[in-house]
Structure 1
């Protein structure tokens, strides 16, 4: 296990430090420029569509999902342990400045996520029985017809099945098990059995059951967590400005807290921001397009702007709340990490320690355990759906039931296995998913640009935009 962990960590180092940095930042910049900052121009429209479609009782009896159900399913995938454990790990390893780089990744990632949702809508498939399927495998085939496209699509389908259907669910159940054991004294394997049984019940119900649960679960879990975080920040309001300043200061001077040379420290901070940013908001990874493909909307642009809201909520709201709570309580004033590393602090217990500063040890641990239960369980449901779509693409509908049974076993196994190895394996497969997805996004940029709404551009800019698109 130790040898395997070292090997996977070495692969992840090359992927996250080099390939992903260039791919994700480059892709986000590319789409930001080509869409004329769609994440700025159309974010308001995205929120209007989000609140206009808000409902705890979505479309029943119809194929696909409502636009809100699709967003709730996507947000359920995005808002998970990455927003609590992942953000804490990024701060612990890369310093508070890693959050700044997560913001940068998310800002450009909003344009990337817009492109993913638009392409998922353009290439989605409606089968004879009314079932709607869509996702990167379909727009990868559109981008690269022939044998190369088949290979890339199959590579992506295998990677996402391993990353989300198996390894990713292990990460989620692992976090639930560890925090529940610490907070309530329940054995992690016992929690794993309960989570596996609940997940199995939802898996059997198919897409509609997942949509009905996520549309109710996502708003509740977000509000619950944000209220708790707001209470911490109000109690430490005098330290909040310092916490914000630390994020910006250590983004460019990470060696002051990480140690070593400036170059190595800045590389670590950016790397952590990219790696944990990808795991948190999933923009460019190719996971959330599966949900957005199922949305019943008038035109692809409509779901594209809604998809951007998912990245915004994930990073600039939920993840930022975690970061401010952790930095305010642990890195400012007499915080245990204000003067450097402290024994006993890990990415798993950082948030619990931070919330315990106000709520007390027992209640703080219980709050994080319940929050992670909501976050991680909803992520398991969404990731299973995304993996199922790819299993059906690879092996047909008959293989889906077999996959579901194996996935339930992995959910249970995750609660019992080593945290570090599970996280590293998940990171590796997540990283591998990005490569074929990014290639297709670059190749189909003209298709995306052709669906961008130009109504809020100046007339001359809009005409120029249309000419560029036609060319």
Structure 2
């Protein structure tokens, strides 16, 4: 098993060091410039649209923009925010946090483009709900069905199976740390709950996400703010530590700066999923009047995930004084011990409950991404049934797996997915640029809720909606 893990790590290092980091940063910068940094210009509009999505009642059989936001945020906000940050700090030091911020700021432009494209090329399912995502815009926009098939297979394996094993693994570790609960007991209970939710279909997934995501996020942020307030005098030196480690002469001369960047970018992408091609599957389900609306809402999800929730975990760990360099504690246990050092033993229990909600919401969100892409591959319902059984099996086995192999395998599939999707959104980016231009022009004319139609973009083909 150790030999297999070593092979996976070596391959990961090559894939990320020489291919993915360059692609993510270069494309993120290119899309930011071409959209005049839409991720910063339209922040006020993002919050307005999200508020409208909460207030508006969606039509029967459809998913609201807020519910779509919650499905994607449910998938984003999970173990990457609590366990992944702890792993990043333990492996790369505080400087890794800075590079997570950078990948979120640049990657949010990629998230805007992919989610806008998903809306443009979405389809209506037989039950009246919308479906779409990278596989659909690869087939319709690029006329490359094979590319869509490849992406569908990768996302179904990585999100529905491998990533769900990661989420289950972290839930088990946190409950063992807090309550000393046997792994098999957690595996059985978690598998039964997962079975109940995913067999309820996308509407049950949406309703579960709509309730869990806001509650868990607010609770966790409030606790983190409390930690920051009681350690307010240490805050300037902690922020300075992050920047010193991110650019430090010591790290550069020691040859570890590249490793810090690598770890920060990897864990950042695992957490916020910007450009990976996962969130567009949720974005496509929303019923909105213009594709750019959901593109902006999904961009806000990247900021919520990395700049807020990931930063909360980072400051909890760095302000706690807990030794994160010894290597004796992995992942979620480090976050639990850091919080317990500040607030007492209930910190262990609070993190265990948080990770249960964070990670379980990720499981149902990840599940939906796989279901959406199996629908792209085949209309036969028996394959959806088999997929659901495999998801439950991976949740069960993930509870019992060795943490390092699960995380490293997740990195491999995440890397392949991201490469395929980044190529597609680069080739189709001009369509999203045109949609953004149309939205901006309507806003300048004083139209509060811009409306998109097929002929809003000249030469747009293979569109089944937006009559």
Under a length normalisation based on structure 2, what TM-score does the superposition of the two structures give?
A: 0.91
Query: 5 Å matches for 1:1-12?
Result: 1-12=1-12
* Alignment correspondent of 2:377: 394
| Bigger shift: residues 348-357 or 293-302 | 348-357
Runs of 4+ in 1 over 4 A off after TM superposition: 455-459
* Alignment correspondent of 1:376: 359
Count of residue pairs brought into register by the alignment: 445
- Conserved 8 A contact 2:111-2:274: yes
* Alignment correspondent of 1:349: 333
CA positional deviation for 1:457? 10
1:433-463 Cα distance to aligned partner (Å, 9 max, x none): 011101110100110100113359999xxxx
CA positional deviation for 1:191? 0.9
SS in structure 1 of the partner of residue 332 of structure 2: coil
* 1:246 has 2:241 as partner: yes
SS in structure 2 of the partner of residue 451 of structure 1: helix
- Conserved 8 A contact 2:320-2:342: no
**Distance in 1 between the 2:205 and 2:307 partners?**
25
SS in structure 2 of the partner of residue 36 of structure 1: coil
Give the alignment partner of residue 440 of structure 2, picking from 433, 454, 457: 454
- Structure 1 stretches of 5 or more lacking a match? 460-468
CA positional deviation for 1:7? 1.3
CA positional deviation for 1:397? 3.6
**Distance in 2 between the 1:451 and 1:254 partners?**
44
* 1:319 has 2:305 as partner: no
Under a length normalisation based on structure 1, what TM-score does the superposition of the two structures give?
A: 0.91
- Structure 2 stretches of 5 or more lacking a match? 446-456, 460-467
* Alignment correspondent of 1:214: 209
| Bigger shift: residues 239-248 or 121-130 | 121-130
- Conserved 8 A contact 2:130-2:286: no
Query: 5 Å matches for 1:142-221?
Result: 142-145=140-143, 149-221=144-216
CA positional deviation for 1:470? 7.7
Aligned pair in 2 of structure 1 residues 237, 131: CA closer, same or farther (>3 Å)?
Answer: same
CA positional deviation for 1:255? 3.9
Query: 5 Å matches for 1:108-119?
Result: 108-119=106-117
- Conserved 8 A contact 1:95-1:250: yes
CA positional deviation for 1:264? 2.7
SS in structure 2 of the partner of residue 221 of structure 1: helix
Query: 5 Å matches for 1:48-447?
Result: 48-54=48-54, 59=58, 61-63=60-62, 65-145=63-143, 149-253=144-248, 255-256=250-251, 262=253, 264-330=255-321, 335-337=322-324, 341-342=325-326, 344-360=328-344, 362-398=345-381, 399-447=383-431
**Distance in 2 between the 1:408 and 1:37 partners?**
41
- Conserved 8 A contact 2:75-2:366: yes
**Distance in 2 between the 1:170 and 1:299 partners?**
36
- Conserved 8 A contact 2:121-2:141: no
- Conserved 8 A contact 2:98-2:264: yes
Aligned-residue Cα RMSD (Å) equals: 2.0
CA positional deviation for 1:109? 1.1
**Distance in 2 between the 1:252 and 1:241 partners?**
17
